[in-house]
Amino acid sequence: MSDMPRWDPYEFATGRAWDDIAELASVVVTNLLVVGDVHGEARHLSKAVDLAVDVGAGAIVQVGDFWLADATWSRLNPLESQFMWTAHDAPLPIIVVDGNHEVWPALSSYARTPAAQAAVASRRPLHLGGSIWWAWRGSVWTWGGRTFGALGGAVSPDRHSPARRGYRWDDEATTGADLDRLMANVDAEFGGSLDVLFTHDAPAQVRGLKATMPGVPWDLREAAKHGRGLLREAVERTQPSFVLHGHWHRTHRERIGEATEVFGLSADGMANSAAHLTTHPALGVRYMG
């Protein structure tokens, strides 16, 4: 990646449609690197890109808290712009599943544009410029003959803080409408099932994760529980072989039900903050990094 950072304000710009891009074709992307939360840090993203190149990945999927931001957000700062340009200039596609800590005022505004609505109609991730794609909630696609879907979002446990209130979170939580959109797209494209589901939070069936942040108000705990319940329903209905998620900043691997194995990724370039997913000869996932 370039050693010359760019500081000029970044602006989302959709210049490409997923199904028209040769490097995103199903027959081309047969292995990928899945990356946990990077929180807008260019050094963590650069480390992930270097690892993806080393393993010959055709794409990166980042499972939320990427820090998607652009110049329409009045508080955009140079470090956030540098981070977005680092992603923009990456040598392979980066597909971002939204988390709770994206810059939702910018992202939600862009979601209402004609370009974004065209992506929703196509059921494919939305181009945000350069190498950056947004796997909005309900987007689906195929790689290596396998079926993939995204259902991002989560509730921020610290959003009750006076310093944080009203900052970014109006559209952070997964909703029933998001689940309905995913299921409609999976039904239309793949007959109701997925091979891999990417999420930000963990589905409610996961039992091995326990919250460690004290003092979270009851209403936020209930909202987070509701979101994980929607992910549980998504897993039960699509029966993926693998679910990969972030949000908890912890390595966690657990089988749920008869069909599904869950991989939780740590964050910020730490151990097991990435996983290598291959589609052939068998679908498989292993921790890396």
Structure tokens given for 17: 């449609």
| pLDDT computed for residue 214 by the predictor | 74
Question: What are all long-range contacts of 219-223, with beta carbons under 8 Å and residues at least 24 apart?
Answer: 220/155, 220/156, 220/157, 220/159, 220/160, 223/155, 223/173
Q: Is the pTM value of this prediction over 0.75?
A: yes
pLDDT in tens, the chain (289 residues): 556 778 899 999 999 999 999 999 999 999 999 999 999 999 999 999 999 999 999 999 999 999 999 999 878 889 999 999 999 999 999 999 999 999 999 999 999 999 999 999 999 999 999 999 999 999 999 999 999 999 999 999 887 776 665 566 679 999 999 999 999 999 999 999 999 999 999 999 999 888 777 778 898 899 999 999 999 999 999 999 999 999 999 999 999 999 999 999 999 999 999 999 999 999 999 999 6
Q: Which domains does the chain have, with CATH numbers?
A: 28-288 (3.60.21.10)
